């Protein structure tokens, strides 16, 4: 692990509730190396999800700098940012967020609809991604025909199908039973170790956090500690 993929300096975020400014992140400094596997931990309202959203490029910081792969994503126009996300970030959500009307194949294919890949190339990528998460035989199943664990694996396939550098996961095991959660965590491990994906994961489950190489604790918008690699 050498150069920093994510370079955060004095990052702050303030929301407005009515006329009341609500500070959520206060001057965060953080470097995340390429290929790292980071868990963001902290109590509710600590700002961990906000930090994740900023890193993922779906929210804009109020101050400070946020460089990802050398790109100042806070300075990007909305459409540029959307294109940047499509090419660089894979998302894993707590509730999987699959499109209910699309089957597993089509859900995984979604991010590829924004690329110039041909139909045949898309099929190849999707099949590879679904094989990677161990669901090559569930391609034509709709989300409601899959278990929670299977749905989350489809979501992970969707996150990796564009081969992004960064995968962000927001409580990826929060809605799963223990067995399924372990499967999902094993999968994230493999993405990190075998494919070299940089993973940033928000969790409040210590077992989950223990899988990460780096553990970061946030409280009241401030970085508390940075746990060592285990």
Contacts to other proteins by CB under 8 A: 53, 56, 58-59, 78-79, 82-87, 91, 93, 95, 97, 99-102, 106, 110-111, 113-116, 118, 158
Q: Which is nearer to other proteins, 4 or 71 (CB)?
A: 71
CA angle, 63 as apex, 60 and 64 as ends, to 5°?
105
Task: Please state, in angstroms and rounded to a whole number, the distance separating the CA atoms of residues 77 and 64.
Answer: 17
Measured from the CB of residue 25, what is the shortest distance to other proteins in angstroms?
13
Task: Please state, in angstroms and rounded to a whole number, the distance separating the CA atoms of residues 55 and 105.
Answer: 28
Measured from the CB of residue 208, what is the shortest distance to other proteins in angstroms?
20
Measured from the CB of residue 229, what is the shortest distance to other proteins in angstroms?
29
Measured from the CB of residue 227, what is the shortest distance to other proteins in angstroms?
27
| Element containing residue 171 per DSSP (H, E) | none
Residues in the chain: 230
Task: Please state, in angstroms and rounded to a whole number, the distance separating the CA atoms of residues 180 and 186.
Answer: 10
Give residue for tokens 């009241």: 220
Q: Which is nearer to other proteins, 109 or 183 (CB)?
A: 109
Q: Would you say 53 and 215 are in contact if contact means Cβ atoms under 8 Å apart?
A: no
Q: Which is nearer to other proteins, 72 or 95 (CB)?
A: 95
Q: Which is nearer to other proteins, 59 or 189 (CB)?
A: 59
């Amino acid at each position: 692990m050498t150069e920093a993929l994510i370079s955060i300096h004095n990052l702050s975020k303030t929301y407005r509730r009515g006329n009341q400014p609500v500070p959520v992140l206060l001057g965060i400094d953080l470097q995340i190396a390429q290929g790292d596997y980071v868990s963001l931990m902290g109590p509710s309202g600590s700002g961990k999800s906000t930090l994740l959203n900023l890193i993922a490029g779906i929210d804009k910081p109020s101050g400070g700098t946020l460089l990802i792969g050398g790109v100042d994503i806070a300075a990007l126009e909305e459409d540029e940012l959307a294109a940047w996300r499509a090419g660089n970030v894979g998302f894993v959500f707590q509730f999987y967020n699959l499109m209910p009307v699309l089957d597993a194949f089509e859900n995984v294919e979604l991010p590829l609809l924004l690329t110039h890949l041909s139909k045949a190339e898309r099929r190849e990528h999707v099949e590879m991604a679904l094989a990677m998460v161990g669901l090559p035989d569930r391609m034509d199943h709709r989300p409601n025909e899959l278990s929670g664990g299977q749905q989350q694996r489809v979501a992970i396939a969707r996150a990796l199908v564009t081969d992004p550098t960064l995968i962000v996961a927001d409580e990826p095991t929060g809605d799963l039973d223990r067995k399924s959660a372990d499967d999902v965590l094993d999968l994230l491990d493999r993405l990190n170790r075998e494919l070299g994906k940089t993973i940033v994961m928000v969790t409040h489950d210590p077992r989950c956090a223990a899988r990460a190489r780096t553990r970061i604790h946030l409280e009241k918008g401030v970085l508390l500690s940075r746990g060592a690699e285990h």
